[in-house]
Amino acid sequence: MSAEDQKRAAGEAAAALVQPGMVVGLGTGSTAAWFVRALGARKLDIVGVATSRSTATLAQELGIRVAELGETGPIDLTVDGADEIGPALSLIKGGGAALLREKLVWEASRRCVVIADAGKRVPRLGAFPLPVEVVAFGHRTTLDRICDALSECDIGAAPRQRLKDGSPVLTDGGNVIYDIACGRIDAPAALAAALKSVTGVVDHGLFLDLADLALVATDAGVVEIEP
């Protein structure tokens, strides 16, 4: 199976977990899009809470009712992809620049399922650059404080502002993204706390103790992994 075939298989397996009447968190990214498509094909009476404008648009095109976060009761199930899946279902997310909205939806959910192709599983987080969402105002001064926080965690990588076609990538909230090529993250919880303490940092792409289940597609089928 190609990586794209595996993403589709994982998305379809996750869509089978959804029951009529649920409030469902809809993730962002190429793998999550396969989940949304499979969910739309089931034609269930559900309400979706999208983690990005692009996901909301896709869901509505497929006939899924979409509500804003907070307009419904608790979210029963959120399904989303990840850029890396490490030990105990620790994750790096944010490659699609939706990490803040994703984390807000995840933390409002009763259950969170991460879906991925086999290549996303890693023995240690950090090979994928860690995204950090930063308030645009004064973001270069925030960068200096981020570097200080990284130094405290013995990470010497210099964050790089994410650009597309030479222009800054902006999140749906109008924030900028800095990516940190850590290489390896030996203490994810300490790094998460250090980054979160920096004034101007909105959030980071470390999702720790949030995923209840991973559905990882392999050539042999979709494998269930628990923390």
Q: Which domains does the chain have, with CATH numbers?
A: 3-121+208-225 (3.40.50.1360), 130-204 (3.30.70.260)
Residues 88 and 227 sit within 8 Å (Cβ to Cβ): yes
DSSP one-letter code for 129? P
**Pairs from 220-226 (Cβ < 8 Å, separation ≥ 24):** 221/9, 222/9, 222/10, 222/13, 225/85, 225/89, 226/89
Residue 78 assigned ligand-binding role: no
Please report, for residues 84, 108, 114, 117, 179, the alpha-carbon distance to residue 176 in angstroms, rounded to integers and kept in the order given: 21, 24, 25, 28, 10
pLDDT of residue 149: 97
pLDDT band for 96, please (50, 70, 90 cuts): very high
Annotated active-site residue 61? The verdict is no
3-class SS of residue 20 = coil
H or E element in which residue 183 lies: none
Q: Is 221 left (phi over 0), alpha (psi -120 to 50) or beta?
A: left
Residue 220 assigned ligand-binding role: no
Residue 17: exposed, middle, or buried by beta-carbon count in 10 A (0-12, 13-18, 19+)? middle
pLDDT of residue 108: 98
Residue 173 assigned ligand-binding role: no
Residues 93 and 207 sit within 8 Å (Cβ to Cβ): yes
For 174-192, what is each residue's pLDDT tens digit?
A: 999 999 999 999 999 999 9
Residues 76 and 42 sit within 8 Å (Cβ to Cβ): no
What is the pTM assigned to this prediction? 0.96
Residue 25 assigned ligand-binding role: no
Which of the residues 12, 84, 102, 133 is marked catalytic?
102
pLDDT of residue 1: 85
Give the torsion through C-alpha atoms of 172, 129, 90, 155, to 10 deg. Answer: -120
Residue 165 assigned ligand-binding role: no
Distance from C-alpha of 76 to C-alpha of 74, rounded to nearest angstrom: 6
pLDDT band for 127, please (50, 70, 90 cuts): very high
